[in-house]
Amino acid sequence: KEPFTILMPPPNANADLHAGHGMYSVDDIVTRWKRLNGFASHWLPGMDHAGFETQYVYEKHLKKNGQSRLDFDRKTLYDDIFAFVKENSGHIYTQLRRLGFLADWDRSTFTLDDSVIDYVYETFSMMVKDGYVYRDTYIVNYCPHCGTSLADLETVYVTRIDPLYYIKYGPFIVATVRPETKFGDTALAVHPDDARYKEWIGKEVEIEGLLGKFKLKVIADDFVDPEFGTGVVKITPAHDPNDFEASKRHNLELKQVIDLTGRLTDIAGKYAGMNVNKAREAVVADLQEKGLMEKIDTEYEHSVTTCYKCGRDVEPMTFPNWFIKVAELKERVKKVVENDEVTFHPAKYKGQMLQWLDVMHDWPISRQIVWGIRIPVWYKIDENAENIYVWWLDGDKKLQKGTVGSFIKKG
């Protein structure tokens, strides 16, 4: 007979079902209706390993026992999470069956089944061959607490009131909510049509800083809002998406001032090793002591990017990740949506889908976590390998970091 198939949107394998899964009733009704109309209908059930979601849930379980993910080697942590998932996911199919759903239970699929992983690897290889997947150092959302990159859909924007600091930068006053990142500045920027600063464009200015004097070039760029602060902004390419894009347009250096643990790097001098909040307090106090703080607006309202799981502030970071090129792929999707080849219920979601596609940029698929499907890539390395950077905790729980080549040389 003519087939009709539905893939069950797989529930996460780390917990019981919730009220939202009642939407499966729609799938069940449609499957039954098609069968009554002579189709060979098939509803394929499954469960999702939900990589980051599940590891986060398991880490909360560890925390209750006074433990951390950093207490285990990779294989032990992976096996422990697998056992945790196996124990918790058993309830899901029992609940679905009690609801009387007409799914093909004998062919249920888990997204860590060998057949699924093989298909993922095959697809990844195909997309690399077709030029849709690449590895690059690009700015991504990074949660220092959870220790992983996040896609845009895994972040939450919250409106918050924070201090806006007006800092003396040579002949200019620069407004910023992040004074602790000033050690990663590589330029000052103004809007090209801002008459106040036209004479400065292209010139270098000498600036008195907390670690001595330094020079920054003044550049002109359309992304600068002349109404924000004083109309002069500092460019910190390694830690701000707009600044990163400006750095590519103006060929500016990337200076990493915050590391993957959320602490300041060695380029911050005496502030190195402090977490972001402590560093901000120290930097502000020292700027005030040196007379480099013009004023502080304590009622500045702005939007802050946070992690959708832990709720902490996300750090824009630049380090190698794997990405999917979306430009060509999303255009195909837009045509299908615009031509009403798919139907949205409610209809308003058509507009939201098109709006989301318009702003969508290359998609980061790297997650620096243990639980899930590993990216199937191996790196050829030797003592000269300076392009692969590694971190790990040694037997004394001391953080080791550096290039693979440097550790090979040390034996």
Q: Could you list the mean pLDDT of each consecutive 10-residue stretch along the chain, which spans 411 residues?
A: 93 85 92 96 94 93 92 92 88 87 92 95 96 93 94 93 97 97 97 96 96 96 95 96 95 94 94 96 97 97 95 93 95 96 94 94 92 90 73 80 83 81
| Amino acid making up residue 48 | D
Say if CB 322 and CB 365 are below 8 A apart. Answer: yes
Which residue carries 């009403």 as its tokens? 340
Which residue carries 């709720």 as its tokens? 311
Tokens of 257: 């001032």
The pLDDT score that the predictor gives to residue 87 is 86
- Indicate yes or no: pTM above 0.75: yes
Paired strand residues for 190:
220
CA nearest 173: which of 79, 24, 293? 293
| Amino acid making up residue 136 | D
Q: Is 87 exposed, middle or buried (0-12, 13-18, 19+ CB in 10 A)?
A: exposed
Which residue carries 């300041």 as its tokens? 264
The pLDDT score that the predictor gives to residue 220 is 97
Tokens of 300: 């500045």
Measured distance between the N- and C-terminal CA atoms of the chain, rounded to whole angstroms:
64
CA distance 185 to 117: 43
The pLDDT score that the predictor gives to residue 407 is 85
CA distance 177 to 157: 16
DSSP H/E element including 141: strand 133-143
CA distance 183 to 250: 19
The pLDDT score that the predictor gives to residue 8 is 92
Tokens of 140: 């991504």
SS3 state at 376: coil
CA distance 406 to 404: 6
**Helices 348-359 & 327-338 angle (0-180, nearest 10):** 160
